[in-house]
Structure 1
Amino acid sequence: MINFNGTLIEGNNILSIQNRGYAYGDALFETIRTSYGKILFWEDHYFRLMASMRIMRMEIPMNFTMEFLEEQIQKVLDANQVSKSSARIKLMVHRNEGGLYTPETNDISYVISIKPIQDDFYILNDAFYEVDLFKDHYMSPSLLSTLKTNNKAINVLGSIYAKENSLDNCLLLNTNKSIVEALNGNIFLVKANTIKTPPISDGCLKGIMRTQIINIIKALPDYELIEETISPFELQKADELFITNVITGIQPITKYRKKAYSNEVSKMLLQKLNVKIRIG
């Protein structure tokens, strides 16, 4: 069951070929994790969605409050009987049909879909995880590159490249040849007691989990968090590399080219993240 504009519908065949998200990538989405019916980091997701809709010049409905959307997500959880387990929610907002590049309206519709998740809390995956650079195409740093829109061509091509080369993930570069992020999350680099992540101005996604991990690190007296441009040359000098997103939490990288990495900091941060979830 999915939720289309507040109505629960069986199946997925609700969008026409004229849908602007399909035709022009004129859509935004939030990937959200729930645990036992609780929407994790919901306030951060909500405010990022509202800010993104304003940037995309979409008309925000008067009823699009945090409470209203939370209620709509809960309807999907209940309808799919996952209120007492964990799930991956995709909340997509698209501009309504009409027009070519120039839309006939800025009004929107929304779709909420769901996929069950096995683990109720974040589990450290310490299996072999190899990455490399994806250099076929580069990200152009801008306000649009920080949004979760349907324009994900570079992520699709990078994922195909990773599969063809037996990699678990790839790191994306911007037009300045700096490390921006991974295909499916933000990147962090650990060197001694310094933890670096690229600044939003370099073009990386304004990730929800990125924000959570930054806040956790800032509260640690033994580590310094720096939002600073990361050069590809720094990767092989790092002690640890890890990727963050709201579904996985923290994914340690074990190998980049000839360099192998540990995961002590990743493990410590993941424990603190799970404590934060339980308390919150």
Structure 2
Amino acid sequence: MINFNGTIQDNNSVLNSNNRGFAYGDSLFETIKTSYGKILFWEDHYFRLMASMRILRMEIPMHFNMEFLEAEIKNTLEVNGLTDASARVKITVFRNEGGLYLPETNDISFIIDTKPLEDDFYLISNDPYEVDLFKDYYISPSLLSTLKTNNKVLNVVGSIYAKENNLQNCLTLNTNKNVVEALNGNVFVVKGNVIKTAPLSDGCLKGIMRKQLIEIINAIPEYELIEESISAFELQKSDEIFISNTITGIQPVSKYRKKSFTSTISKLLIQKLNVKMRLS
């Protein structure tokens, strides 16, 4: 069961061909992890969603506050029997039907759906995780490229490319040929005591987990966090590469081309992330 504008209903009775998210990608989404009914990093998710809606000139309803959406998420979890488990929650916001490229209204609707997750805490996987560059298409850096919109064709085609080449993921490049992010998360590159991640100005997603890890790393005196462009040449010179997203937390990269990597920093950060998760 899903939550459509505050009403719990069947998943098959909501979308049609006039839905602007379907027809034009006129839509935003937030993917959130919950643990036994607790919404992780909820404030960060909420404010990113509100900022993104403003950028897309969507009308934010007066009642669309943190308390309202939190209650709707918890109601959806309860209906689906997920208050005593961990879950993936997806909030999709789309402009209401009407118009072609030019909408007839800026009013919005929302859908909340949920799926169970196996892991309650963030864990480091020891399975092989090989990546390569995806160079068929490039990200054009702009404010829009930092948003979680429904325009994810590059990520879809890149994921197909990864599967065809027996890769677990790919790293994307922007039009300046800098490494921007992975297909499903932000990228961090470690060399010595310096941990680097791409700046938002390079076009990477304004990731919620990226934000948490930046705060964690900045609190560790032994390491220096730098938001700076990453060249493809740096990847093979690095000691460690890891990918971050809200659901997985941290995914260490074990291999890029002929180079294998350690996961020392990933294991350190995952411990601190789980502590932060419990306190959030």
Match of 1:119 in 2: 119
Matched, 1:262 2:255: no
Q: Which amino acid aligns with 1:87?
A: A
Structure 1 window deviating more from structure 2 (99-108 vs 11-20): it is 11-20
Match of 2:229 in 1: 229
Q: Which amino acid aligns with 2:270?
A: L
The alignment partner of 2:230 has SS state of: coil
How far is 1:10 from its partner? 2.1
How far is 1:266 from its partner? 0.2
Match of 1:179 in 2: 179
Q: Which amino acid aligns with 2:18?
A: Q
The separation in 1 between residues aligned to 2:262 and 2:21, in whole angstroms, is: 41
- 5+ residue gaps, structure 1: none
How far is 1:11 from its partner? 2.8
Match of 1:105 in 2: 105
Match of 1:149 in 2: 149
The alignment partner of 1:271 has SS state of: helix
| Residue pairs, 1:1-280, within 5 angstroms | 1-280=1-280
The separation in 1 between residues aligned to 2:191 and 2:208, in whole angstroms, is: 23
Q: Which amino acid aligns with 1:175?
A: T
The separation in 1 between residues aligned to 2:275 and 2:223, in whole angstroms, is: 19
Q: Are the equivalent residues in 2 in contact too, given 1:2–1:12 (CA < 8 A)?
A: no
The separation in 2 between residues aligned to 1:279 and 1:2, in whole angstroms, is: 29
- What is the CA RMSD across the aligned residues, in angstroms? 0.6
The separation in 2 between residues aligned to 1:50 and 1:278, in whole angstroms, is: 25
| Cα deviation 1:179-207 (Å, max 9, x = unaligned) | 00000000000000000000000000000
Which ranges of 4 or more aligned residues in structure 1 deviate by more than 6 Å?
none
Q: Are the equivalent residues in 2 in contact too, given 1:187–1:243 (CA < 8 A)?
A: yes
| Cα deviation 1:46-71 (Å, max 9, x = unaligned) | 00000000000000000000000000
Give the number of aligned pairs: 280
| Cα deviation 1:103-157 (Å, max 9, x = unaligned) | 0000000000010001111011121000000000000000000000000010001
The separation in 2 between residues aligned to 1:13 and 1:273, in whole angstroms, is: 39
How far is 1:255 from its partner? 0.2
The separation in 2 between residues aligned to 1:261 and 1:76, in whole angstroms, is: 41
The alignment partner of 1:124 has SS state of: coil
The separation in 1 between residues aligned to 2:11 and 2:207, in whole angstroms, is: 30
Q: TM-score, structure 1 length as denominator?
A: 0.99
How far is 1:13 from its partner? 3.2
How far is 1:277 from its partner? 1.3
Q: Are the equivalent residues in 2 in contact too, given 1:3–1:9 (CA < 8 A)?
A: yes
Q: Are the equivalent residues in 2 in contact too, given 1:199–1:228 (CA < 8 A)?
A: yes
Q: Which amino acid aligns with 1:123?
A: L
